[in-house]
Amino acid sequence: MVLERGEVANSWRRERWDSLRLLTPNWQSRLPGYRYEGPDPDGFMTMAEVIAFVAGFAAASGAPVRTQTTVTSVVRAGEGYHVTTDRGDFECRCLVLASGACNVASVPGVRQAVPASVECFTALEYRNPAQLPDGGVLVVGASATGVQLADEIRRSGRPVTLSVGEHVRLPRTYRGKDVLWWMEASGIWNQRYDEIDDLTRARKLPSPQLVGTPERATLDLNSLSDAGVQIVGRLAAVRDGRALFSGGLRNQFALADLKMDRLLDAFDEWARSHRRDADVGPTERFEATRPPASSRLDLPLATGEIRSIIWATGFRPDYSWLHVPVVDPKGYLRHDGGVVDAPGLYAIGLPVLRRRKSTFIHGAEDDARDLIEHLAGYLANSP
Ligand SMILES: Cc1cc2nc3c(=O)[nH]c(=O)nc-3n(C[C@H](O)[C@H](O)[C@H](O)COP(=O)(O)OP(=O)(O)OC[C@H]3O[C@@H](n4cnc5c(N)ncnc54)[C@H](O)[C@@H]3O)c2cc1C
């Protein structure tokens, strides 16, 4: 039985901004035994298309989904679990936590010190620029969400300041192919969780600066600067009505550029060693991220220059309903590749769950197969 508090594809229906398109190309929209079959494999789905895709999978797979059913509590009971919902209780031997990795916005504590005159929105609340008051906007966070929202809000004519911390820079296309083609073909996205040196860090890596547009444009800090977005460092504090930013942008940029170049080197090496050089374009290297001539270290928040703040500072799961001692003090699940630290309990859809690609829609393909194998073995061997 699959329990869903809203409708099928609820997060795509309720928790995304209007203009969002997937940053993964259509050919990568795959679920077990089901894939995008339309005319534009290199395009990027709109939210309406994603909803139709996931709903299509639910119908094609015949999954026994009970919608409008919110799980309010899970406790261990005998050899299994007791699940309480707003539409009745259930007992089960095995339980798969597929409640998502992005249920709540992670907002830094400095939000408390933001003057009341500045309107705050998380990425889960933001829908479109018309929602914002006129005037300057501070976007905090420069991963996939932050760069996309900074770009959209700047296009609406508002002055935008983007606060940049650690980030992952990627070109949209490399040597004529989508960068995610390279991630998949080179095997990097398939790398298993137990082969990754620093798994804790890999699970906390920010999403790459990427956008899915019909033009397949690269969206990076250089293109945002060119569009007039003011780039500042990491938001370190809000004090006396002023936002204070770290210096060291130059180092942040150098690090992100270095990591991108290393990844491109790995792609080149893969193409060479797999004799694929003839199938792709010539090697490329991209302009280094340009540090702003003078980056501001503080910004008054109470004088009207900034009228709203978008917190694009990441998301985290919500397990407030899970009363099984498997959640660490920071709110993250203790699991080994999705096998949770309690008998018969599993998780799917979390960052680098079993592979680097686990956090993406198509990551469920292999993860689901592995976990079902484990789950079936557990059921077969338990009394
Ligand atoms: C802004 C954004 C952009 C993204 N872009 C891409 C992209 O371009 N490509 C890509 O592959 N991936 C993308 N992702 C990641 C994508 O969301 C995940 O790959 C995918 O949604 C994981 O599916 P899921 O079913 O595990 O989680 P979710 O889609 O989060 O689904 C979890 C479901 O559980 C339900 N639920 C939660 N709690 C309860 C409860 N207590 N009781 C009942 N139901 C509950 C929710 O309503 C929800 O429907 C993006 C994520 C975000 C946040």
- Number of helices (H) and strands (E), helices first, in the chain? 8, 25
Give 262 Cα–ligand 1 centroid separation in angstroms: 30
Amino acid at 287: E
Q: How far apart are CA 293 and CA 165, in angstroms?
A: 18
Residue 382: predicted pLDDT: 83
Give the pLDDT confidence score for residue 294 in this predicted structure.
84
pTM (2 decimals)? 0.96
DSSP 104: E
143 CB under 6 A from ligand 1?
no
Ligand 1 close to Cβ of residue 68 (< 6 A):
no
The three state secondary structure string of 187-227 is CHHHCEHHHCCCHHHHHHCCCEECCCCCCCCCCCHHHHHHC
Quick one: which of 307, 270, 286, 50 has its CA closest to 157? Answer: 307
pLDDT tens series, the chain, 383 aa = 999 999 999 999 999 999 999 999 999 999 999 999 999 999 999 999 999 999 999 999 999 999 999 999 999 999 999 999 999 999 999 999 999 999 999 999 999 999 999 999 999 999 999 999 999 999 999 999 999 999 999 999 999 999 999 999 999 999 999 999 999 999 999 999 999 999 999 999 999 999 999 999 999 999 999 999 999 999 999 999 999 999 989 999 999 999 999 999 999 999 999 999 999 999 999 999 999 988 899 999 999 999 999 999 999 999 999 999 999 999 999 999 999 999 999 999 999 999 999 999 999 999 999 999 999 999 999 87
Alpha-carbon distance values, 45 to 126, 186, 269 (Å): 19, 24, 31
Q: What is the length of the chain?
A: 383
Bridge partners (DSSP) of residue 244 are: 237, 298
Half-sphere exposure of 81 (CA within 13 A, CB side): 23
User: Is 17 in a helix, a strand, or coil?
Assistant: coil
User: Which residue is associated with the tokens 């999954």?
Assistant: 63
C-alpha 102 – ligand 1 centre gap (Å): 6
Q: Which residue's CA lies nearest to atom 15 of ligand 1?
A: 360
- Return the pLDDT at 165: 95
Q: Does ligand 1 come within 6 angstroms of the Cβ of 321? A: yes
Q: Which of 45, 95, 99 to mutate to test the pocket of ligand 1 (most atoms within 8 A of CB)?
A: 99
Cβ–ligand 1 distance for 353 under 6 Å, the answer no
Nearest one of 146, 156, 100 to 122, comparing CA atoms: 146
For ligand 1, whether the C-beta of 97 sits within 6 Å is no
Q: What is the structure's pLDDT at 295?
A: 84
| DSSP per residue, 111-123 | GGGS-TTSEEEET
Phi, psi for 226 (deg, rounded to 5): -60, -30
Q: How much is the pLDDT for 149?
A: 98
Which atom belonging to ligand 1 lies closest to the Cα atom of 102?
Answer: 53
Cα 364 to the chain's mean position, in Å?
Answer: 15
> Atom of ligand 1 at shortest distance to CA of 22?
8
How far, in Å, CA of 126 to CA of 273, rounded? Answer: 45
